[in-house]
Chain A
Amino acid sequence: MRNSAIAVTGLRKTFGDKVVLDGIDLDVRAGTVFSLLGPNGAGKTTTVNVLTTLMKADGGTVRVAGHDVATEAKAVRASIGVTGQFAAVDELLTGQENLQLMVDLSPIRAADGTRIVTELLERFDLVESAQKPASTYSGGMRRKLDLAMTLVGDPRIIFLDEPTTGLDPRSRRTMWGIIRELVADGVTIFLTTQYLEEADQLADQVAVLDQGHIVAQGTPDELKRLIPGTHVRLRFATAAELDAAARVFTDSTRDDEALALRVPGDGSSDSLRALLDKLDEHSLAAEEFSVHTPDLDDVFLALTGHTTEAVAQ
């Protein structure tokens, strides 16, 4: 277990009588990206809060960088960096002042501090806006500044709580690039996300969190094997039509409640044409026709039998 950057056993956390984390086990090897995947309300932020010493666990043990978060919080804090769910930048300070604030609060010497601030501004492409207040920054720039602030003390374990939620696709890709650079430097990353694609792009290991339980854990490829592939969803007007269609498409799965049928297929024009021809051949007409590629909803449906929305409520 020497290589574990984060080791969690039997972690439990309750708020009042609501159980938020119900016995979580995680093991994150040093120098890898670990992604905790789950919908809103699954307990991702609570997990991060406990792992980063912000909250006390009600049960179980958590070791980060070899230190127990409950008894050696100081040592844990010295080795980690945290970027929370909301960009925690000081809006009334400029980008440069925000970074300088982090330097002033860390044990870094003043001379090194100036160099570190300049380097981070360059690295995160914030030089031009360095003298402007953070309140004028776009969402993507704030996230970058937030992460830059986290990197001031050169932490070896970084927690990123939904680092790309609310970002446009371009900023999201920039953020992914930055995370990859960190990993190349040997930093361990603990990343929470709602996006399967993000976990797929970045993570070596993924754990799926659902209502306080880890329901699946493995590499992105292992997880994807658990998920139904691309499929076409056909919705019918009547149960009789659904029955008829289900007899035609024998490899399909049916959803009686929605009067819908999921037909596996690769989404290519050929397979779609074949499917439509088959419908014609049997004089069947679908009310609604849509092509689905697997997403977090599918992971959840496959792993837990309910969708992400059901959890969020």
Chain B
Amino acid sequence: MNTQRMRTKSHALVMLRRNSKHITRNPTSVFNAVLMPIIILLMFVYMFGDAFDVGVDYIDYVTPGLLLLAVCYGLSGAAVAVNSDMTKGIINRFKVMDVSRGAVLTGHVIASLVTNLVAIAALIGVALLLGFDPSASLLDWLGVVGMVVLLGFAAGWLTVALGLAAKSPETAGMAAVPLVMLPFFSSAIVPAEMMGQGLRQFAEYQPFTPIIETMRGLLEGAPDSGDAIVAVAWCVGIALVGYVWSLSTFQKRA
């Protein structure tokens, strides 16, 4: 059993190496994951920022929201990557070689998570240059990183499941679109209170809002434990659904 676990671990490393090569060799996925969030940041801060009255400096308001957006933008790449592995027969090849299902899928999730972290680091760097002035302590920063990792992990598993279930790489890319759009209907860009009836309730209760509010609280140095608990619960739930769905699809599809 021990050798089996070691094999799974080393296979996961091989898969992670493979997936990281993919990411660096596929400029579109890098563009989507890293540059898009920065472009959106510039767009909102310079073009729309003055139009929103959010009570604080707009860049301080929007940066936490865009952190979440950055995580989501990295996902479509992962969905497409998983799906082309499935539809091009590479996953079948791995299955016949007795590569553990955990290794194949975990490789994708971790690679997507690493992309997320690179994108987040780049985004925070640019935001700081633009005058982002967080008042977070070291502990708060650790909390932000923890939240990003948890979100990336949860959304990563859900994306892998979507990618496995999709019929073709094109539909896999489409399947991730809701995840990319959802942040716009949350408190990421503007506070939920400023939205119209219906949309406001949606924004308040959708999973991304507590996650964003948690990060916002941490970056302002005033974390709200109520938001944090809801945020973590959502992430754990999403991760579980994604994980179970991924494994069952992986098992079934040949």
Contact = CB atoms under 8 A, between A and B. Distances in A.
Interface of A: 49, 52-55, 74, 77-78, 80-82, 84-93, 97, 101-102, 104-106, 133, 149, 153
A299 B146 CA distance: 65
B97 A88 contact: no
Given A92-B25, A101-B18, A49 B254 contact: yes
Interface in B24-62: 25-26
15 contacts: A53-B95, A74-B98, A81-B96, A82-B92, A84-B93, A85-B89, A88-B92, A91-B88, A92-B21, A92-B22, A92-B26, A102-B97, A105-B11, A105-B94, A133-B25
B14 interface: yes
Interface in B182-197: none
Given A82-B96, A102-B97, 18 more contacts: A49-B254, A52-B96, A53-B95, A54-B96, A54-B254, A77-B96, A78-B98, A82-B93, A84-B93, A85-B89, A90-B18, A91-B88, A93-B21, A97-B21, A104-B14, A105-B11, A105-B94, A133-B25
Contacts of B26: 92
The 7 closest A-B pairs by CB, nearest first: A88-B89, A54-B254, A84-B89, A104-B14, A77-B98, A88-B93, A82-B96
A78 B98 CA distance: 8
Nearest to A93: B21
B90 interface: yes
Residue of B11, B90, B92, B97 most packed against chain A (CB within 10 A):
B97
A81 B96 CA distance: 8
B145 interface: no
Interface residues of B, number: 19
B254 A55 contact: yes
A143 to B, nearest CB: 12
Contacts of B89: 84-88
A106 B96 CA distance: 11
Given A77-B97, A102-B97, A84 B21 contact: no
Nearest to B7: A107
A149 B90 CA distance: 11
Contacts of B21: 92-93, 97
B96 A80 contact: yes
A182 to B, nearest CB: 17
Interface string B147-168: 0000000000000000000000
B99 interface: yes
Contacts of B25: 92, 133
A89 B93 CA distance: 9
Contact of B97 (A49, A86, A87, A105): A105
Contacts of A77: 96-98
Contacts of A104: 14
A137 B248 CA distance: 34
A54 B95 CA distance: 7
B2 to A, nearest CB: 15
B93 A86 contact: no
Contacts of A149: 93
Contacts of B11: 105
Given A97-B21, A106-B97, A84 B14 contact: no
Nearest to A152: B97
A100 to B, nearest CB: 9
B104 to A, nearest CB: 10
A77 B90 CA distance: 15
A54 B97 contact: no
A81 to B, nearest CB: 8
A307 to B, nearest CB: 29
Contacts of A97: 21
Contacts of A101: 14, 18
A149 B89 CA distance: 13
B27 to A, nearest CB: 11
Contacts of B88: 86, 88, 91
Nearest to B254: A54
Contacts of B90: 88-90
A82 B14 CA distance: 20
Given A74-B98, A92-B22, A92-B26, A105 B14 contact: yes
Interface string B1-17: 00000000001001000
Residue of A81, A92, A133 most packed against chain B (CB within 10 A):
A92
Residue of A82, A86, A87, A88 most packed against chain B (CB within 10 A):
A88
